[in-house]
Structure 1
C-alpha cells in the first residue's frame, strides 16, 4: 500500500472516475459529517455550463473544510445550484502520498489540472489561494488573507470569489503569535513539507467542530482573455482586480452573516523565502518587504 501511494501518479495526473459513494459529489447523499451538515452554498451569479471556471476560495483555514464540504460533497446541493458543472478541489501533491487518506480524497475521482487547454467545458477548479501560511492566521473573529502577493494563479485565470463566512469559528487554534517558538516552527515547515500544521481543538479539547454554520458565497467569475505569457504589469493589474472583487463581495455579504461590525478584510503579504533574499543580494535592487509582511488593512 505504501509503494502504491509512492509510485501511483493518479493523484496528480488524473484518470480515476468518481465513485458513487455517499457524500461524494457524484453520490446520492451528502450529509456525511457534523461539518457538512452545517454548510450552505450561496449562488450570486449564473455560470454558463459550457465554460471552465476557477473559484478562489477564502479563507484557507486549517483544514479547508468549507471547500471540502461544499465542493467535494453534495451537502449543500452544488449540483442543484450549478447544474452540468463538476467541481474539483485542487490539493497539494504531498497529500497523495499518504496511504488510505489519498484513497479517501480520490473516491470522487480526480482529473489533471483543469485550467489547461483541451479539456471540455463544465469543469470547476477550486483553489485555496492563501496557502498554508494563511491557515496559521485562522482564528475566531479574525479575517486575515495572505493574498497581497499571491499571483501564481493569474496566468490560469482570475478566480470567481468563493468566501466562507463562519469558517474560522469551527475550531480554536492554539495561540501562535508571530515570533513565538511555535509560530517559527510552523513557518519553517511549508518550504520543506508544503504544509504548516496548525494546532487546533474543538469543544472540550476534542477534534470535533463547534456548531457554527458555514455560508460559502460564490461570486461572479471575472472574464479575461487567455494569455499564456502575461507581462508583470498585466499580472499585477489582474491580481489587483481579483482582490478588489473579493473585497467588494465581502462587503456586500458581511452584514447578512453576522459580520456587520467587521470593517474590512485584512490582506497580508506572504514573506519572502531565503532563496528570494539570495536573489536580492545577487543584484535585484528591489528592497524586500519589512512591515508589509504583517497584515495591512485594505482601505
Structure 2
C-alpha cells in the first residue's frame, strides 16, 4: 500500500500529473445554468406577449370563432355557449367570478420577472373599510396595474391581508365571449357605475376597486421619461368615494411609461384629432407605439424590460355623503392631488428620477 501511495504522489508532482490536474480545472463548467437562464428569459417574454395578444385579439377572435361555429356541425356547442352567455350577462356587474387558481398561475411570475414589477406597501389598510385606488399613470397597457391587482404575482393578498382588489377596465371587454371570463377570473370588473357600486355597497367590506383614473386619454401622452397624469377634470371617482364612504388611495407606478416608445402628436394636429375622435367612438385610444421583437431588439409588440415599481400610498379617509356638494367633491379632489404629488416626490429619486423632476397634472 505504501508503494502505491508513493507512486500516486509522484504522479501528482511530476509534469504529467500536474498537467492532468490543470486540464481538469480548466474544463468549462456545465452549460445548464446559462441554458436555464436563457430558457427562463424566453418564458418571461412569452408570458408577457400572451397577455398583450389576449388583450388585443382574444375578444375579437373568439367572437369570430363563435359566429363561424354556427355555420358548422358544431352549431349546437355555439348555441349552448350563447345561451349560457345570455344567462350570465350581468355577472361582471355583480362582483364577477374571480378565481384564486388563475390569479396564482405560474405564468404571472414569469410576467412579473420580465420587467420586473414590484409592489410597495406604505400603510396598512383596514379590512373593515372599502377603498378606491386611483392608479397612475395609464401607460399603454397598464402592466403594473394588471400584475399587481389582477394577479397574486407580487403578493397583494399577503401585503394587504383582508383586502380584495378589483381592477376596473373597459366595459366593452365584458361583451366579448371567453375574454370576459378570462378577465373576471383575475378579479377584473367593468369600469362603470353599476359594477363599482355593487362592489362598494353590496359586497361587504375589504374591497378595493382599482381605477386607472387617466384612462385612454392619458395613454396618448405616455412615453419614456414622461411624468404626466390626466387628473384635473377627473372628479367622478371622488364623488363616487363620497357617496359610498370609501377611502381614496393614490397609487403611482414608476416606470409604467418606459416600457414602450410612442409617437406623440402635438395638440391641434389632424393625427391628434383623429386619435381623440376614435377614442370617443371605440372607448380606447389608438396609439402609435412599439417595443422590441420576440427574441431580438428589433421593433415589435413585446415591451421593453424596464422595471415597474408600484407604490400604494396613504389612504384618505372619506365620509359617506349621499349627495355630496360640488365644493365637497373639489375639496377631496384637491386632497387627493396633494397626496399623489407627495407620494411621487417622496419616492421619485429612489427609482431613477431626479430631485428636480415634477409630476405634471393635466
Shorter-normalised TM-score: what interval?
Answer: 0.7 to 0.9
Structure 1 spans left out of the alignment, 5+ residues: 269-299
Corresponding residue for 1:228?
Answer: 322
Q: Secondary structure at the match of 1:236?
A: helix
Does residue 163 of structure 1 match 2:252? yes
Cα shift at 1:184: 1.2
Which has the larger displacement, 258-267 or 241-250? 258-267
Cα shift at 1:52: 1.3
> What is the Cα-based RMSD across aligned positions, in Å?
2.3
In structure 2, distance between residues paired with 1:213 and 1:109: 24
CA contact (8 A) 1:59 1:128 kept: yes
* Equivalence map 1:268-283=2 (5 Å): 268=362
Cα shift at 1:103: 2.6
In structure 1, distance between residues paired with 2:121 and 2:327: 32
Corresponding residue for 2:307?
Answer: 213
Corresponding residue for 1:294?
Answer: none
1:26-77 Cα shifts (integer Å, max 9, x gaps) = 5577314267651100000011122211111000111111100111112211
CA contact (8 A) 1:155 1:227 kept: no
CA contact (8 A) 2:167 2:209 kept: yes
In structure 2, distance between residues paired with 1:241 and 1:116: 21
Cα shift at 1:261: 4.2
Q: Which of 247, 256, 267 is 2:341 aligned to?
A: 247
Corresponding residue for 1:193?
Answer: 282
Q: Secondary structure at the match of 2:185?
A: coil
In structure 1, distance between residues paired with 2:184 and 2:270: 36
Change beyond 3 A, Cα 1:10–1:71 = same
Does residue 14 of structure 1 match 2:95? yes
CA contact (8 A) 2:137 2:256 kept: yes
Q: Secondary structure at the match of 1:33?
A: helix
In structure 1, distance between residues paired with 2:291 and 2:266: 20
CA contact (8 A) 2:167 2:188 kept: no
Change beyond 3 A, Cα 1:50–1:29 = farther
Q: Which of 184, 207, 226 is 1:123 aligned to?
A: 207
Q: Secondary structure at the match of 1:187?
A: helix
In structure 2, distance between residues paired with 1:205 and 1:38: 20
Change beyond 3 A, Cα 1:109–1:249 = closer
CA contact (8 A) 2:112 2:147 kept: no
Does residue 68 of structure 1 match 2:146? yes
* Equivalence map 1:95-110=2 (5 Å): 95-109=173-187
In terms of fraction of residues, the more helix-rich structure is: 2
CA contact (8 A) 2:130 2:200 kept: no
Corresponding residue for 1:56?
Answer: 134
* Equivalence map 1:138-177=2 (5 Å): 138-157=222-241, 159-177=248-266
Structure 2 spans left out of the alignment, 5+ residues: 1-61, 67-81, 190-194, 242-246, 293-297
Per the normalisation by structure 2, the TM-score is 0.68
Change beyond 3 A, Cα 1:238–1:133 = same
Bigger CA radius of gyration: 2
In structure 1, distance between residues paired with 2:113 and 2:302: 9
Q: Secondary structure at the match of 1:45?
A: coil
CA contact (8 A) 2:221 2:264 kept: no
